[in-house]
Amino acid sequence: MNKHESLILTNATITDGFSFLIENGAVEIENDRITQIGKCNDLQNPDVETIDLQGRLALPGLLNPHHHLYSALATGLAPIGPIENFTQILGNLWWHLDQKLDEESIYYSAVHGLLQSVKYGVTTIFDHHASMNGVSGSLAIIEKAFRKVGLKGLLCHEISDRMGESAVQAQVDENMEFWAAHRQDSHVQGLLGLHANFTLSENTLVSIQKQKPAELPIHIHCGEDCADYQYCIDHGYAGPVDRLNEFGLLSGESFLAHCIHLSEKDYELIREIQPVVISNPESNANNNVGVMDIAKIEKYILGTDGMTGNILGTMRSHFLQRNGKIDQPLDILFRYPAEIVQRFFPDAGALEIGRRADLAITDYIPVTDINLDNLFYHLIFGVQGQPMYMTIADGKILYQGGEFKNFYEYETLNQIKHVADKLHRKYYE
Ligand SMILES: [Zn+2]
């Protein structure tokens, strides 16, 4: 880890993504904090280590609000059966994989997924974990990976009846115990992870309703596939959001991923209660489950759902999928994520004096006019979802010029490969 106490990043175009953009700008960082933001000429100090960013575009550290780090070593795995529809994709790939995870593969999946996120400027991740044959203690293993890599996060374990109702309590306990032990933590906190309505029986939701403290938010897949919607209709509800609301699980603090197959009542509830809605356009395309109706859900943010660690690339896919018609894209990328990160980490989440220094320095040097009105197009056509030049979290340089500063990359990569190989062999056994 670099030992500097003070650092000046100079000669950059600096923006928080929605309220200011400074050309020929500089940022001063002391320990983990941003202490000054201004013009290069005003922020010079020969006694402080200074890095010349040569005109690169500097952004706030990014948020990935829906990730599955446990899937980070899945690349190249073949499904064990047909994947004609969404439930087959779960059963014949993801649910089979997560049951093969052990302590070692949970840890190295997380490390690999986190490093792949750092490369793309992500400094905070909300992870939705599953390791059904190693539930207890799994979140502490992932926490270790977050602390090792140096990112902030919210962790949860998926609760689901898919292993039988008798297995549910251990999943509930893992979430509740982790959350209770990390409520004031400055880096890693907990949520209550639920898989989806269609794998949660009425009995299970009654039990969760009884146990869940009001201030513990849920993180759930909601209306991802028509099977989820149909299950709720068949059980007498107006839709997936309505069912969560009927069990008292829905609040403005809830995280609902996907929100594709919903009823009019569901949309009304979202407008009224305002949970955080996370669209995952690349995953939705990959699973062929449809697209979220952005005319009906006005406020949302973007996640990757385990597909990649790349949020700007995900926005580029979203932009192209919607034929370039997205309202308030800078709010989706920067303003809303800043508000959400600050709910949990009040001194982080934005590129602002006094806050923790989380920065994503792109490898893009704008040569045409740049301002807040055209910034989004510089991101789509200039940055293009490419890896960052530098990623800084809590004032520490984690990645610079293609190298992870805190890792001997070759050594770490060999260990990850070794663990991935063992996991793949177990998967096919
Ligand atoms: Zn997901």
Using one digit for the tens of pLDDT, what is the confidence trace for 3-58? 458 999 999 999 999 999 999 999 999 999 999 999 999 999 999 999 999 999 99
CATH fold match for the domains 6-61+349-404 and 62-342: no
The second-level CATH assignment, the architecture, of 6-61+349-404 is: Roll (2.30)
- Ligand 1 mean position, distance from CA 303 (Å): 9
Residue 344 has pLDDT above 80, yes or no: yes
- Ligand 1 mean position, distance from CA 247 (Å): 21
- Ligand 1 mean position, distance from CA 157 (Å): 12
- Ligand 1 mean position, distance from CA 71 (Å): 10
CA distance 261 to 228: 8
Residue 1 has pLDDT above 50, yes or no: no
Which pLDDT band, with edges at 50, 70 and 90, does 145 fall under?
very high
- Ligand 1 mean position, distance from CA 239 (Å): 19
Residue 226 has pLDDT above 50, yes or no: yes
pLDDT of residue 411: 85
- Ligand 1 mean position, distance from CA 295 (Å): 22
- Ligand 1 mean position, distance from CA 223 (Å): 11
pLDDT (mean) for 247-256: 98
- Ligand 1 mean position, distance from CA 70 (Å): 11
pLDDT tens column, 176-202: 999 999 999 999 999 999 999 999 999
The CATH topology of domain 62-342 is TIM Barrel (3.20.20)
pLDDT of residue 4: 52
Residues with CB under 5 A from ligand 1 (ion): 305
CB hemisphere CA count around 68 (13 angstroms) = 21
- Ligand 1 mean position, distance from CA 170 (Å): 21
Which pLDDT band, with edges at 50, 70 and 90, does 2 fall under?
very low
- Ligand 1 mean position, distance from CA 128 (Å): 7
- Ligand 1 mean position, distance from CA 256 (Å): 10
Q: Where are the domains of the chain?
A: 6-61+349-404, 62-342
Question: In this structure, how many other beta carbons lie within 10 angstroms of the beta carbon of residue 241?
Answer: 29
Tell me the whole-structure pTM to 2 decimals. Answer: 0.97
Residue of 369, 365, 401 whose CA lies nearest to 382: 365
- Ligand 1 mean position, distance from CA 401 (Å): 31
Region of 286 (left: φ > 0; alpha: ψ -120 to 50; beta: rest) is alpha
pLDDT (mean) for 259-276: 98
pLDDT (mean) for 304-332: 96
- Ligand 1 mean position, distance from CA 416 (Å): 23
Residue of 284, 235, 241 whose CA lies nearest to 263: 241
- Ligand 1 mean position, distance from CA 155 (Å): 13
- Ligand 1 mean position, distance from CA 225 (Å): 12
- Ligand 1 mean position, distance from CA 25 (Å): 38
- Ligand 1 mean position, distance from CA 213 (Å): 23
